[in-house]
A and B are shown apart, each in its own frame.
Chain A
Amino acid sequence: RKEVEQDPGPFNVPEGATVAFNCTYSNSASQSFFWYRQDCRKEPKLLMSVYSSGNEDGRFTAQLNRASQYISLLIRDSKLSDSATYLCAPSGSARQLTFGSGTQLTVLP
C-alpha cells in the first residue's frame, strides 16, 4: 500500500457545486495533515492544516478520520479559480515526509 493515496480524478464539476476529495494515509503516527493546491506549472501552495478532527476556512473544510486513516477536503460553492490539483500530505519525521500524487479538479462554467 502506498503511504499516501489520492484519487487522481479528474473531477469535473459545474460552478457552484460542492465537491469532496479523500486522501488515505498509512502512517498511523502522523499528528497533523496538510492540503495544498497546485496550479499548472506552478509551485504548491499550502491551503489548510488539520491538527485535530477538522478545520474550516471559508468555503473549504478539511476533516480527519483517524480510525479509518483518511482526510477529506470539501469545497463548497466551487469557483472557476478553484481549478487546480489538490495534494495531501501527512506530517512525519524526515524519511516519512510524503505527498499524495494529487487530485485534479476542473470547475466548469
Chain B
Amino acid sequence: NAGVTQTPKFQVLKTGQSMTLQCAQDMNHNSMYWYRQDPGMGLRLIYYSASEGTTDKGEVPNGYNVSRLNKREFSLRLESAAPSQTSVYFCASSALTGIQNQPQHFGDGTRLSIL
C-alpha cells in the first residue's frame, strides 16, 4: 500500500518563486493535513481539510494556500516563497474527523529550502 505520497521530496527555490507541493492518499480518508516542522518547534498545522472542497486554517497559514479538489489529493501552494518558509513539510491523512481529529498516516515529507 502506498499510503500517503508526497512530491517532490526535495526542492530548492529562490525567494519570490512559487511552487505547489502535491499530496495524495489511497486509504479513502476524509481528513487531510499539511504540517511544517522546524528544529525546536515541533509540528505546526498549516491547513486542514475535513472533506473534499473544505479547508480550515491551522496555526500557521500565512503565505500558503491549499486545494482539496477530490478526496485523494490535497495540495499546498507557496505563491511567493520566503526564506522563513524553509522547512520540512509533511502531509497526513486520517479516518478520524470532528473532535476526535488527529492524523494517522504521514507522507515521507518534502524538504524545502528557500534561498
Q: Is the CB of A31 within 8 A of B45?
A: no
Q: Which residues of A contact B90 (CB under 8 A)?
A: 43-44
Of chain A, the residue at the smallest CB distance from B6 is A43
Cβ of A22 < 8 Å from any Cβ of B?
Answer: no
Q: Which residues of A contact B99 (CB under 8 A)?
A: 29-31, 91-93
Write out the residue numbers on chain B whose beta carbons fall within 8 Å of the beta carbon of A97. Answer: 33, 45, 48, 58, 101-102
- Cβ contact within 8 Å between B100 and A94: no
| B43 contacts A by Cβ under 8 Å | yes
Q: Is the interface of A mostly helix, strand, loop or mixed?
A: loop
How many residues in A have their beta carbons less than 8 Å from beta carbons of B?
A: 24
Inter-subunit contact A43/B50 (CB<8 Å) = no
Chain A residues lying within 8 Å of B56, measured Cβ to Cβ, are 94-95
Known: A31-B99, A92-B99, A94-B101. A44 touches B106 (CB 8 A): yes
Q: Which parts of B5-44 form the interface with A (CB within 8 Å)?
A: 33, 35, 40-44
B104 touches A46 (CB 8 A): yes
Q: Are A91 and B43 in contact (CB under 8 A)?
A: no
Residues of B with C-beta under 8 A to A75: none
Contact between chains at B96 and A43 (CB < 8 Å): no
Q: Do residues A31 and B100 form an inter-chain contact, with CB atoms below 8 A?
A: yes
Q: Which residue of A lies closest to B88 (CB)?
A: A41
Report chain A residues within 8 Å CB of B45.
94, 97-98
- B-contact 0/1 string along A56-92, CB 8 Å cutoff: 0000000000000000000000000000000101111
Chain A residues whose CB sits within 8 angstroms of the CB of B42 once the complex forms: 87, 99-102
CB-CB under 8 A from A102, the residues of chain B are 42
Q: Whole-angstrom distance between the alpha carbons of A94 and B90 in the complex?
A: 16
The 6 A-B residue pairs whose C-beta atoms are closest, nearest first, are: A94-B56, A101-B42, A43-B106, A99-B43, A94-B48, A34-B102
| 25 A-B pairs (CB sep. < 8 Å) | A29-B99, A31-B100, A32-B102, A34-B102, A42-B108, A43-B106, A43-B107, A43-B109, A44-B103, A44-B106, A45-B106, A46-B103, A46-B104, A46-B105, A87-B43, A91-B100, A91-B102, A92-B99, A93-B98, A94-B56, A94-B58, A95-B57, A97-B48, A99-B44, A100-B42
